[in-house]
């Protein structure tokens, strides 16, 4: 007898739950606690109504699993963290979207001495709905980064960072997408203003090269506030001005052709109105390059509330929204000189239960509505998931 896909997924879900509780005891401690190995896993089942972030996107049920092994060493001058993660997603009807995505990462960090910092390397294969190209794509993202912190005196310190990223699309649902190389350098100065607040000033340079033989450069001057932002709101707020020099439109004769100026910002904030309630918010505004090689000026924000009923049970609700302005010759609507504009609104609800110190259960639903002056880029999607997570 062959059970239908929903029944098979439900069986797999409960079998995974049993295996989590019984066999996930893989925490190993070596060398008097300096070396540790952790094993974690998640099992999910859910449904999404739009797999390709497009007007004609199809929906499907899915179930999946993630397994991760992490090694930590804290001895001597340098610390080491290395991990390998494998994520499996299986769809009931749309089998072309089935994936097995690995992630590998290594971090060397120095937390003692006058100069501190970290070197990170990672490689991630991901599958997602691409709202810029309105397709479901698969890509590899390779990252390498070095950040350093050097205190001059108690109140002053210098920071620096070098980052490299390579984004390669391997599967694009029949539509060719643009691979991108990104080089970033940051140099900043921190000042301890008080016991509860730090400030910074920094300069960021970013260059991007695409496989479509185009390139962009960004220069930004940034000012930041950290720890206590204002009143009882804690987090970080970085605001600055930015100029992008990007691909030019050969049909436009102007000194500003391909050059864009705007405000850039990133913020994360937390506010505790009571012991059981936490409000968190995020804000970002920046230039970026999409998989279709268009420059976008994107503004995004979220606001979430989490309520803890007790030590084991909690619930959350959140809203978000944003705007994506597609600029330059690759941002025009097909056959016109009108630039594409997208606006979106999203909301989510969820519930979490901590079964014990090794097992957590979560139920979540997310809704998103995207409006665009490009017809097939206007779409709606709703996604619900049930997740079990364990770490040992």
Q: Kindly report the number of other CB atoms within 10 A of residue 208's CB atom.
A: 23
Handedness of CA 24, 25, 30, 32 (dihedral sign): positive
Question: How buried is 132 (Cβ within 10 angstroms: 0-12 exposed, 13-18 middle, 19+ buried)?
Answer: buried
pLDDT tens digits for 238-292?
Answer: 999 999 997 765 555 554 567 899 999 999 999 999 999 999 999 999 999 999 8
pLDDT tens digits for 315-373?
Answer: 999 999 999 999 888 888 888 888 999 999 999 999 999 988 789 999 999 999 999 99
Give, as one character, the DSSP assignment of residue 249: -
Nearest Cα to 197, choosing from 155, 169, 252, 149? 155
Q: Does the structure show a pLDDT above 80 at 19? A: no
Q: Kindly report the number of other CB atoms within 10 A of residue 102's CB atom.
A: 12
Q: Does the structure show a pLDDT above 90 at 2? A: no
**What is the band of 167 on the pLDDT scale with cuts at 50, 70, 90?**
very high
Q: What span, in angstroms and rounded, lies between the C-alpha atoms of 238 and 149?
A: 18
Q: Kindly report the number of other CB atoms within 10 A of residue 106's CB atom.
A: 15
Q: Does the structure show a pLDDT above 50 at 10? A: no
Where b means 16+ CB within 10 Å and e means fewer, 5-18 reads beeebeebbeebbe
Q: Does the structure show a pLDDT above 70 at 112? A: yes
Q: What span, in angstroms and rounded, lies between the C-alpha atoms of 4 and 224?
A: 55
Nearest Cα to 293, choosing from 340, 224, 359? 340
Least confident range of 15-19, 38-42, 302-306: 15-19
pLDDT tens digits for 59-98?
Answer: 999 999 999 999 999 888 889 999 999 999 999 999 988 9
Report the first-to-last Cα separation within the chain, whole angstroms. Answer: 37
Q: What span, in angstroms and rounded, lies between the C-alpha atoms of 138 and 190?
A: 39
Cα dist from 223 to 218, 241, 331, 386, whole Å: 16, 9, 30, 41
Q: Does the structure show a pLDDT above 70 at 17? A: no
Q: What span, in angstroms and rounded, lies between the C-alpha atoms of 321 and 259?
A: 26
| Paired tokens of 60 | 């499907």
Q: Does the structure show a pLDDT above 50 at 4? A: no
pLDDT for 27: 67
Q: Please name the residue that has the structure tokens 């619900």.
A: 384
| Paired tokens of 302 | 């979220």
Q: Please name the residue that has the structure tokens 């691409």.
A: 130
Least confident range of 23-27, 190-194, 294-298, 370-374: 23-27
- Strands 295-308, 379-391: parallel, antiparallel or unpaired by DSSP? unpaired
pLDDT tens digits for 179-213?
Answer: 999 999 999 999 998 888 999 999 999 999 999 88
**What is the band of 1 on the pLDDT scale with cuts at 50, 70, 90?**
very low
| Maximum distance among all Cα pairs of the chain, rounded to whole angstroms | 74
Helix, strand and coil content of the chain, in percent to the nearest 5, comes to 10, 65, 25
Check if the beta carbon of residue 235 is closer than 8 Å to that of residue 316. no
| Paired tokens of 390 | 């364990």
| Paired tokens of 270 | 């937390």
Q: Does the structure show a pLDDT above 70 at 51? A: yes
Q: What span, in angstroms and rounded, lies between the C-alpha atoms of 189 and 389?
A: 40
Handedness of CA 305, 309, 310, 314 (dihedral sign): negative
pLDDT for 257: 64
Q: Kindly report the number of other CB atoms within 10 A of residue 360's CB atom.
A: 17
**What is the band of 172 on the pLDDT scale with cuts at 50, 70, 90?**
confident
pLDDT for 247: 77
Q: Does the structure show a pLDDT above 80 at 309? A: yes
Show Cβ contacts of residue 153 under 8 Å, excluding neighbours closer than 6 positions: none
User: What is the rounded average pLDDT for all residues in the chain?
Assistant: 88
pTM assigned to the model: 0.86
Nearest Cα to 383, choosing from 102, 133, 67, 57? 57
Listing DSSP states for 30-63 in one string gives EGGGTEEEEEEEEEEEEEES-SSSSTT---EEEE
């Amino acid at each position: 007898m062959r059970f239908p896909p929903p029944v098979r997924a439900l069986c797999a879900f409960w079998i995974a739950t049993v295996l989590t509780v019984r066999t996930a005891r893989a925490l190993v401690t070596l060398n008097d606690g300096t070396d540790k190995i952790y094993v974690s896993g998640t099992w999910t089942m859910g449904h999404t109504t739009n797999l390709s972030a497009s007007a004609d996107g199809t929906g499907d049920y899915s179930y999946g699993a993630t397994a991760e092994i992490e090694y930590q060493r804290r001895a001597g001058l340098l610390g080491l963290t290395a991990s390998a993660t494998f994520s499996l997603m299986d769809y009931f009807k749309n089998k072309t979207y089935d994936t097995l995505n690995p992630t590998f990462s290594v971090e060397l960090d120095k937390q003692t001495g006058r100069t501190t910092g970290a070197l990170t390397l990672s490689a991630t294969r991901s599958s997602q709905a691409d709202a810029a190209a309105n397709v479901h794509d698969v890509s590899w993202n390779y990252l390498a980064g070095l950040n350093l912190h050097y205190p001059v005196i108690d109140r002053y310190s210098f920071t620096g960072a070098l980052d490299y990223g390579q984004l390669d699309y391997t599967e694009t649902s029949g539509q060719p997408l643009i691979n991108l190389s990104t080089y970033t350098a940051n140099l900043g100065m921190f000042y301890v203003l008080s016991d509860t607040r730090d400030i910074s000033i920094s300069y960021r340079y970013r260059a991007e090269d695409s496989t479509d033989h185009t390139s962009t450069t960004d220069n930004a001057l940034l000012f930041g506030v950290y720890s206590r932002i204002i009143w009882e709101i804690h987090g970080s707020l970085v605001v600055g001005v930015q100029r992008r020099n990007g691909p030019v439109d050969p049909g436009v004769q102007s000194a500003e052709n391909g050059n864009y100026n705007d405000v850039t910002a990133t913020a994360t904030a937390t506010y505790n109105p009571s012991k059981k309630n936490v409000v968190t918010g995020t804000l970002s505004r920046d230039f970026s390059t999409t998989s279709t090689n268009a420059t976008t000026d994107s503004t995004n924000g979220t606001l979430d509330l989490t309520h803890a009923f007790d030590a084991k049970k909690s619930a959350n609700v959140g809203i978000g929204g944003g705007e994506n302005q597609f600029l330059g010759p690759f941002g025009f609507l097909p056959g016109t000189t009108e630039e594409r504009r997208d606006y979106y609104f999203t909301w989510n609800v969820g519930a979490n239960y901590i079964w014990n110190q090794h097992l957590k259960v979560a139920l979540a639903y997310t809704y998103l509505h995207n409006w665009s002056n490009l017809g097939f880029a206007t779409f709606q999607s709703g996604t619900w998931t049930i997740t079990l997570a364990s770490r040992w």
